[in-house]
Amino acid sequence: METASKKSFLTSEMIKSAILGAFKKFNPIYMVKNPVMFVVEIGFIFVLLLTIFPAMLDADASGDDRIYNAIVAFVLFITILFANFAESIAEGRGKAQVQTLKKTKTVTGACVLLPDGSEVMKQAYELKRGDIVLVQAGETIPNDGEVIEGIATVDESAITGESAPVVKERGGDFASVTGGTTVTSDWLKIEITSLPGESFLDKMITLIEGARRKKTPNEIALNTLLVSLTIIFLLVVVTLYPMTTYLNVHIPVATLIALTVCLIPTTIGGLLSAIGIAGMDRVTQFNVIAMSGRAVEACGDVDTLILDKTGTITYGNRMATEFTPVEGVAEKELIRAAWLSSLTDDTPEGKSILSLACKLKVDTADEGMIRDSSVHIPFTAQTRMSGLDMQDGTKIRKGAYDTIRKESIAAGHVIPKDLEQLVHQVSSVGGTPLVVVKNHQILGVIYLKDVVKSGLKERFDQLRAMGIKTIMCTGDNPLTAASIAKESGVDSFIAESKPEDKIKVIKDEQALGRIVAMTGDGTNDAPALAQANVGLAMNSGTNAAKEAANMVDLDSNPTKIIEVVEIGKQLLMTRGALTTFSIANDLAKYFAIIPAMLMAAVPEMSSLNVMMLNSPTSAIISALIFNAVIIPFLIPIAIKGVKYKPMSASKLLNRNLLVYGLGGIIAPFIGIKIIDLLVSPILQMIGL
C-alpha cells in the first residue's frame, strides 16, 4: 500500500474510470442523493426538451431560441458531468488499493486441527470461529485469528506496505494475525476469531470502496443548508417569471433555469461528496483504516487525547541505562555480575542489561562455557529475582531491593550504607532499581528506565498548538508517571490507572463537552477505545482492541494519531473553505446574470453591468460556463485538502474569509469576463 507522499494525484487509469463513473451517476435515482445537483439535472432535462420542442412553452419561439436552449442545455450537462467527475475521482483514488487487497483474497486452504489430534484440510471460507489451524512457512494465514502456539515471522506487506516481516507469538501485543498475510518462517497454531467475509481484510476492502460510507453529522448539516438555499432560490425564480410577464418583460425559460443554477450553491454541491470521500482516502494513505467518515470528521474536532504510556509514549520495555556500584565495589565487578545474572534471561530487560554491559567492554570470552554449565534461575512473582547458579558454586542474582536486602540480612551480610540512597536516586526519577548480589554480597544497582520515544515531545507541542490536551494513562506509581510525563511533554497524567480509570477520564472529558480520542492496543484498552469519540487501535494489538476502535493503524504507530487529527481538521477546513468560496462565488455571478436579464426591458439596469459584458446572451452563457468549469478547477483542492496550519478558530475564520471569501468574489469577475471575450464572437457569428 502506498503512502500519501508516494501516491500520484491522478493516473490515466483513474481518469478513464472517473469519466465512465461520471456518466453512470447521471441516473436520477443516484442524483437525488445530491439535491443541489438533482435540481441542475432537472433543469438540464427541461431545457433539453425545450431545445427539441421549442414551442412547448412559447408558440412564437424561433430557431435562435432553439440554438440558445441547446447551448444552455449543453453547459448544464457539462456542469453535472464535472460534479460527477469530482466524486468519481475521489472514489477512484481508493480503487487501486482495493485491487491490491483483493489479490490477497485468493482461495486459501487451511489445515484444521481437530480435538482428537487429527488434521483435515478446509477452504478458508469454511472456517468457523474457534477453529484451530496450523500455518507453516510459505503458507497464507486463512483468516483473522490469535496465535495460541509457536513463534514465526509473518509478511504483512499486503496489508501494511511494510516489507520487513513481523514476529508473531503467543501472548502480548503481537499475538493477533490478519487473514491474507503470509508466514515466512517456522509455524503457528492460530485460533480463528472471525467469520469468512467479516475479516479485517474484508472490512478494509468494503471501507475503501466506500460502499458503506454514510454522511457525517457536519456533512448532513451542510447538506441541509444547501437544500434550504436551493429551495429559497427556486421560489425566487418561480415567482420572478409571473412578475416579469406582468411587466411585459420577456425572459426565456432557459434563462430562468440558468439563473437558478447560478444562484444555487452548485460549486459546493458538486464537491461536497468528493470532499468527504477524499477525507477518508487521505487517512487511508497514511495506512490508517477509518471505519466511518464520522470517525475522520470527529478527529477534526478532537479536544483531548488519551494515551497509554507503555508502547505509545515509551518503547514498552524498561531498558538498562546505568550501573552504579556501592561503596567499596569496583564498577567492573558490578558490570560483570550484572552480565552474568542476565546471561540466561530472555526478557527484554535482561537483554538490555547484556547490551549495556557489552557496550562497557565486559569480558565475554567464557560466555559459552558459562551458559552450558550454569543453572538458570527464572524470575517469579514470589522470589522477585532471577539469575544463575554457576558450576563453581557462585550464585549471581538481580532483583527487587526489598527482596535482595532480606536475603542478604538472612545470610548474615551487612547492607552497604549507600545502597538505600542509590535505590532512592533511581526511584525518584521514575526508574526501576535492580539490586545485583553475588553470593549474598550486594554489589550495586542497575538503573532500568522507561525510554520515551524520540521526537515525541515535539509532536505533543504540535498537539498543544492545535488546542488539544494530552493525558497519559499508566499503571506505574505516581513518581514514575510524573517523570515520564515531564520527559515526554504531556499535559497531565493518571498514575496507577486501571481500565475503568481510562473510561472514567474519557467520560469526564466528554461531560465537559469535549471530543476525546484515544490510542491503545491491548484487550484492556478495548472498553476505553469504544467509549472514546475516536478510538485508534494498533494493527499489532489484539482483535478485541481493533473491534472496539473506529480506526486501525496498520503501521502500529500510536503517535500517528497526530496525523489523523490533522487530516480531520483539514477535512473540516476544506469543506468550510470551499463553502465560503461557493457562496461568495454566487454573489459575484448575480452581477453578471441579473443586469443581463433585465437591462433590455429596463435600460437603467445597464449601470449594474460592472463587468462590461458584451450582450445579455453572452453574459448569461459566460456565467453558466464559469459555473461549470470552476468545479474541475477546485477538484485538486477538494481531494488534496486545504493545507492545515495550527491556529485558533477566529484566525481560521478570518483566513477563510480573506482567502476563499475574497477569492470567491474576485474569481468570477475575472473568469466570466475572460469567457465573455471568448464566446461573444462565436455568439455573434451564429446570430445570438
For residue range 94-129, list pLDDT tens digits in order: 555 555 555 555 557 788 888 888 888 888 777 888
- Taking the CA atoms of residue 428, residue 433, residue 438 and residue 439 in that order, the dihedral angle to the nearest 10 degrees is 90
User: Distance between CA 199 and CA 32 in Å, rounded?
Assistant: 33
Q: How confident is the model at residue 674 (pLDDT cuts 50, 70, 90)?
A: very high
* Catalytic (active-site) positions: 308
Q: Which three three-digit cell numbers place residue 326? A: 556501592
Edge to edge, the sheet with strand 395-399 lists 314-325, 441-452, 432-438, 395-399, 385-389, 375-377
Is the pLDDT at 208 greater than 60? The verdict is: no
For residue range 550-599, list pLDDT tens digits in order: 888 877 777 777 788 888 888 888 888 888 888 888 877 877 777 777 77
Binding annotation: 345, 349, 379-386, 398, 521, 525
- Domains, the chain: 12-97+210-285+566-686 (no CATH), 128-195 (2.70.150.10), 291-313+453-554 (3.40.50.1000), 318-449 (3.40.1110.10)
pLDDT at residue 1, rounded to an integer: 37
Question: Do 639 and 9 touch, CB atoms closer than 8 A?
Answer: yes
For residue range 428-485, list pLDDT tens digits in order: 777 889 999 999 899 999 998 877 777 788 888 878 877 888 998 887 778 778 888 8
Amino acid code (one letter) for 145: G
Rounded to whole angstroms, what are the CA distances from 88 to 22, 81, 353?
6, 10, 56
Q: How confident is the model at residue 337 (pLDDT cuts 50, 70, 90)?
A: very high
- Residues facing 534 on adjacent strands: 517
pLDDT at residue 445, rounded to an integer: 94
Is the pLDDT at 210 greater than 70? The verdict is: no
CB atoms within 10 A of CB 217: 11
Rounded to whole angstroms, what are the CA distances from 210 to 81, 270, 284?
20, 18, 12
Residues 6+ apart with CB under 8 A from 306: 471, 473, 502, 505, 506, 516, 517, 518, 519, 528, 532
Comparison of pLDDT for 349 and 539, the residue scoring more:
349
Is the pLDDT at 372 greater than 50? The verdict is: yes
For residue range 591-643, list pLDDT tens digits in order: 777 777 777 667 777 777 777 878 888 888 988 999 899 998 988 888 888 87
Lowest mean pLDDT segment, chosen from 86-95, 133-142, 376-385, 519-528: 86-95
Amino acid code (one letter) for 281: D
Q: What number is the average pLDDT over the span 333-348?
A: 88
Report which of 343, 339, 394, 344 is spatially closest to residue 363, judged by C-alpha positions.
339
User: Distance between CA 563 and CA 553 in Å, rounded?
Assistant: 11
Binding annotation for ATP: 345, 349, 379-386, 398
pLDDT at residue 446, rounded to an integer: 93
User: Distance between CA 674 and CA 348 in Å, rounded?
Assistant: 69
Comparison of pLDDT for 288 and 680, the residue scoring more:
680
User: Distance between CA 312 and CA 298 in Å, rounded?
Assistant: 21
Q: What number is the average pLDDT over the span 31-38?
A: 87
| Mean pLDDT taken over the chain | 81
Q: DSSP 3-state assignment of 288? A: strand
Q: At what angle do helices 95-104 and 12-24 cross, to 10 degrees?
A: 100
Share of the chain above pLDDT 70, in %: 86
pTM over 0.85: no
Most trustworthy range by pLDDT among 219-223, 284-288, 464-468: 464-468
The helix (run of H) or strand (run of E) holding residue 678 is helix 662-685
For residue range 496-548, list pLDDT tens digits in order: 777 788 888 999 999 998 889 888 777 777 888 888 888 888 876 777 777 78
